Amino acid sequence: MIGRRPDISICIPVYNGARYIAATLESVLSQDFSNFNLIILDNASVDQTRAIIASYNDDRITLLSRESTSPPWINWSAVVSEATAPWTKLLCADDVLLPGALSHTFELMKFYPNAGVIAGSRNIIGPDGRTVMRSRPAAKKVVELDYKDFTQLIIKIGTNPIGESCCISWRTELTPVVGNFSNYWKYFMDLDYWIRLSALTTIVVSPIEIASFRVSPQSWTSTIGISSAREAKLFFTTHEAFKCSRKYIIVVASLKALFRSIARQTFIKLSIHKSRN
């Protein structure tokens, strides 16, 4: 293993992540697939984030730090640009990988050599790590999606069908082609990126749970709050990917997105409240 190039670069952007970063790191370092490197970009945290990361003595870990805090889209874009392996995986600093996540992902990478994106499923956990919702995969078996398939599926269900960053890995060579994460979208920043990836390559989606997405008072999804509902409608009515779709279809999709966003925010608040009690 010494001197071998890693197969996957796991990239973690973090800001004031002291509460959960240890659980995130443990979930990565305990994987049965070990040929990865771990790149962490600290966004000028003012808590114990860097000290916690520095306490891990593992030569696969690289800790980078910004001198001042930047918007999330800049930190996300910067950390994935540091990937050195053929594949990149973005993992938020409060989410966790489930056992076997990387080995399952790597098997799909080998089995689908023409795919540029591999996606798994995820459950949702609360602040205390307890599962508050099981995964709801887009399909019951592994499926391949091209750009048309993917965008039509988004319109059909009115939300992100392949999950957050903890679910996704993509070929590193695509990163400079796709460009930065959006400085315009907040709630849909990840989905906008997945759409742009799908314009370049096939997405392989597995129903297997590979990660846990955490909701907490500190999570970005929670801090966006109800503004996500306003953005949901705007996303479907103005995004380039949906311009050729019929107007009534977009209206229905935007209404679905609006109600899903409101339901999601309500669910997050109830889950956080339940975890506190």
pLDDT tens, 55-72?
999 999 999 999 999 999
| Range from 3-17, 149-163, 208-222 carrying the lowest mean pLDDT | 208-222
In angstroms, rounded to a whole number, what is the distance separating the alpha carbons of residues 53 and 42?
10
At 140, is the pLDDT very low, low, confident or very high (cuts 50, 70, 90)?
confident
**Residue 38 confidence (pLDDT):** 98
Residue 144 pLDDT greater than 60, yes or no: yes
At 223, is the pLDDT very low, low, confident or very high (cuts 50, 70, 90)?
very low
Cβ atoms within 10 Å of 34's Cβ, excluding its own = 13
Residues 6 or more apart whose Cβ sits within 8 Å of residue 183: 71, 73, 74
* Maximum average pLDDT range among 201-205, 240-244, 267-271: 201-205
At the topology level, CATH places domain 8-276 in Spore Coat Polysaccharide Biosynthesis Protein SpsA; Chain A (3.90.550)
Looking from the CA of 136 toward its CB, the CA atoms found within 13 Å total 7
Structure-block tokens of residue 47: 């808590």
Specify the amino acid at residue 89: K
At 132, is the pLDDT very low, low, confident or very high (cuts 50, 70, 90)?
confident
pLDDT tens, 36-53?
999 999 999 999 999 999
Asked if 3 contacts 32 with a C-beta cutoff of 8 angstroms, the reply is: no
Picking from 24, 32, 25, 273, the residue whose alpha carbon sits closest to that of residue 132 is 273
At 109, is the pLDDT very low, low, confident or very high (cuts 50, 70, 90)?
very high
Q: pTM for the full model?
A: 0.88
4: left (phi over 0), alpha (psi -120 to 50) or beta: beta
| Range from 3-7, 159-163, 222-226 carrying the lowest mean pLDDT | 222-226
**Residue 261 confidence (pLDDT):** 60
In angstroms, rounded to a whole number, what is the distance separating the alpha carbons of residues 154 and 148?
10
Residue 118 pLDDT greater than 80, yes or no: yes
Structure-block tokens of residue 274: 């339940």
In angstroms, rounded to a whole number, what is the distance separating the alpha carbons of residues 247 and 238?
11
**Residue 252 confidence (pLDDT):** 63
**Residue 181 confidence (pLDDT):** 98
Tokens 């040929």 — which residue?
35
In angstroms, rounded to a whole number, what is the distance separating the alpha carbons of residues 215 and 190?
16
Domain ranges of the chain: 8-276
Residue 89 pLDDT greater than 90, yes or no: yes
